[in-house]
Amino acid sequence: MAAISVRTCLRRGVSLTETLMKTYCRRVQLARALCSTNTGDDVPGFADESVQNILKRITGMDFEKVFKPAKTKLKPPKYKLVSEERLQELLQEAKEKAEKKLQMPPVMDERNEIDTVLSDDHELAGLNSTNIVFTDISYGVTDRERFVVVREPSGVLRKANWSERARMLEVYFPREGRKLEMPPLFEDENLDIVFSQGRFEDLLNHCCVQFEPDDPNFIRVHQRTYENIAKGNRYDHLRSTRHFGGMAYYFTKRKRIDGLLKDMIQRDLIDDAVDLVTLYHMLHPQCASAREVKKFDLKGIDIVKTFIQMDAENGPVLELAVQAYENEKQTQTDLPLSDRST
């Protein structure tokens, strides 16, 4: 039964993608305002511009993947004959749309539970047998700022906790795609079903709609997804999606980039590999390879080699990957010009 619920949830979500993206983008802007751009000790945070620029570059922009058709009824394709100038304009428009689709979900710390008592009115004790919830439904107020309080039967007046806030806000301000209760899809036992199907992007898209970025469930689902991807070396499933940057940041923050770095080298994405190690040095400026790169002003693949020699957990494996890449490049260089494209 659980598997049926999971498949149903995923199918319904596909047709809502475009509608949900509009709501999602607005929520990203609000959440990013709450993100710290600096984590202290001059270490940039996820929302820092330099970090964002690197994450955007290594995400990639494969138009076929970004604009892949939703699983709906197919319509006949339309063909147009355009000038070279108009073609470039259309390509620029497609790039702008792709950048919007690739907008990364914020990375936030798990929120603290709300436990604020506003007053304790003993004279009201026993007047009601259940909690009474008061919700501010004024227009122009963000969900974060909206006032929601609870009067308990004991007479205590307190701020609503996160669970109570979520339920009341969904009652008064329902969001398309979000459920009042957490769908079975996000239960731990059902996540393995989704992972076995390789539906990582669909899962994370639904997660972004259902939960706020600092919700414990949002963080749990994302982290379990990243760990499963790393376990199976399936990093490419999230490349050219808005979730790749968050995954790269997750592993970089935890000093566990070896798997992703190897994947980039093997796919001939050396510029991405250099960017990933550069991000590692930005988040861990005191590591040995960061000091070495700064001391000798190293560039390009030398940055990657220095990291492999000094800070990589699986240095020998990565050294073999770099050696294979360089051998392949040398072979291509030695080939006659007429054979290099084959």
Domain boundaries defined on the chain:
117-160
Distance CA 94, CA 194 (A): 30
Distance CA 321, CA 50 (A): 28
What is the enclosing helix (H) or strand (E) of 151? strand 148-151
Q: What is the CA 151 to chain-centroid distance, rounded?
A: 37
pLDDT in tens, 256-300: 999 999 999 999 999 999 999 999 999 999 999 999 999 999 999
**What are the helix (H) ranges across the chain?**
2-14, 17-34, 49-59, 63-66, 84-101, 162-172, 188-197, 200-210, 216-231, 244-253, 258-266, 270-283, 288-296, 301-310, 315-334
For the segment 223-230, the average pLDDT, to the nearest whole number, is 98
pLDDT of residue 15: 44
Angle between helices 288-296 and 270-283 (to 10 degrees): 110
Distance CA 127, CA 271 (A): 68
Amino acid sitting at position 237 = H
* Least confident interval from 88-102, 103-117, 224-238, 300-314: 88-102
pLDDT in tens, 99-136: 888 899 999 999 999 999 999 999 999 999 999 999 99
* Least confident interval from 73-82, 169-178, 280-289: 73-82
Is 50 exceeded by the pLDDT of residue 14?
A: no
Distance CA 342, CA 334 (A): 14
pLDDT of residue 82: 86
226 with 214: CB under 8 angstroms?
no
3-state secondary structure of 150: strand
Distance CA 5, CA 2 (A): 5
pLDDT of residue 40: 54
Is 80 exceeded by the pLDDT of residue 147?
A: yes
pLDDT in tens, 237-246: 999 999 999 9
For the segment 324-330, the average pLDDT, to the nearest whole number, is 93
Q: Positive or negative CA dihedral for 319, 323, 324, 329?
A: positive
Distance CA 58, CA 238 (A): 11
At 4, the pLDDT band (50, 70, 90 cuts) reads very low
3-state secondary structure of 124: helix
Is 60 exceeded by the pLDDT of residue 341?
A: no
Mean pLDDT of the chain: 88
How far is the CA of 62 from the CAs of 25, 197, 294, in angstroms?
Answer: 20, 22, 33
Nearby residues of 219 by Cβ (< 8 Å), 6 or more positions away = 110
